[in-house]
Amino acid sequence: MRRIVCLLGSPRPKGNSALMAQTLCEAAAGQGAEVTTFALNALKYRGCQGCLLCKTKAEACVLKDGLTPVLEAVRGCDALVLATPVYFGEVTAQLKAFIDRCYGYFTPDYALNKAHRSRLAPGKTLCMVIAQGHPREDLFTDIFPRYAYFYNWLGFNESRLLRACKIYHLGDAERRAEVLEEARALGVELAGKGGQA
Ligand SMILES: Cc1cc2nc3c(=O)[nH]c(=O)nc-3n(C[C@H](O)[C@H](O)[C@H](O)COP(=O)(O)O)c2cc1C
């Protein structure tokens, strides 16, 4: 069974990115995938403290807070869904803090030893779900490739993007049938991808 971990990065629990991600996850669950969802905004946690203990004395992030079970779940997943609105051309602060904490997944010599960069098993898939208020498709296109690049180092050898532009108000995504259809198709694809069958 494929294990999918979904992180909702928006502070709006019923927002656009959450609906897109949940539509994807329901389709994946319908195909037999095990889906675990965390609403990051409901958790209490800190961003990376730069202590580098994960590179010297410990095998993982030493902070113990609301992200600890999230980081543990991601360790065992086949696919990771990162859902976020665009905020100032980036992911939300909630999601960025999680991403920085993923630094603990890197091995101490990840920069030099390309064959052994990650403490995670390879073969995972990263899927970003991005809700963008601005209608211009050519804006903020850098977000997905930036994170796909780093997560590839961590063993997320494949990456997918579900992105919708001109989605601003609560309920906008609900009215975009083609976006939700794409979400369902991606959910079905992720349910059949990565890890052991
Ligand atoms: C603080 C803040 C910053 C935003 N910055 C951008 C931005 O840089 N570009 C953009 O296209 N939309 C921006 N938006 C609009 C959101 O991306 C848009 O409303 C999105 O649909 C919200 O998704 P959600 O319902 O999942 O929270 C911003 C919204 C807020 C509240």
Kindly report the pTM of this predicted structure: 0.97
Classify residue 138: in a domain, yes or no: yes
Classify residue 124: in a domain, yes or no: yes
Distance 81 CA to ligand 1 centre (A): 19
| Ligand 1 atom with minimal separation from the 17 CA | 26
pLDDT in tens, the chain (197 residues): 899 999 999 999 999 999 999 999 999 999 999 999 999 999 999 999 999 999 999 999 999 999 999 999 999 999 999 999 999 999 999 999 999 999 999 999 999 998 999 999 999 999 999 999 999 999 999 999 999 999 999 999 999 999 999 999 999 999 999 999 999 999 999 999 754 43
Classify residue 13: in a domain, yes or no: yes
Classify residue 131: in a domain, yes or no: yes
Classify residue 119: in a domain, yes or no: yes
| Ligand 1 atom with minimal separation from the 172 CA | 21
At residue 40, the 3 state secondary structure works out as: helix
C-beta of 66 in contact with ligand 1 (< 6 A): no
Pairing mode of beta strands 124-131, 3-8: unpaired
What's the CATH number where 122 sits?
3.40.50.360
Instruction: Identify the helix (H) or strand (E) that includes residue 80.
Output: strand 79-85
What is the full DSSP assignment across 105-164?
GB-TTTTT-GGG-BSS-S-EEEEEEEE-SS--TTSSTTHHHHHHHHHHHTTEEEEEEEEE
Classify residue 196: in a domain, yes or no: no
Classify residue 197: in a domain, yes or no: no
Domain interval for residue 76:
3-191
Counting the structural domains of the chain, the total is 1
Distance 65 CA to ligand 1 centre (A): 27
Classify residue 176: in a domain, yes or no: yes
Residue 183: Cβ within 10 Å count? 25
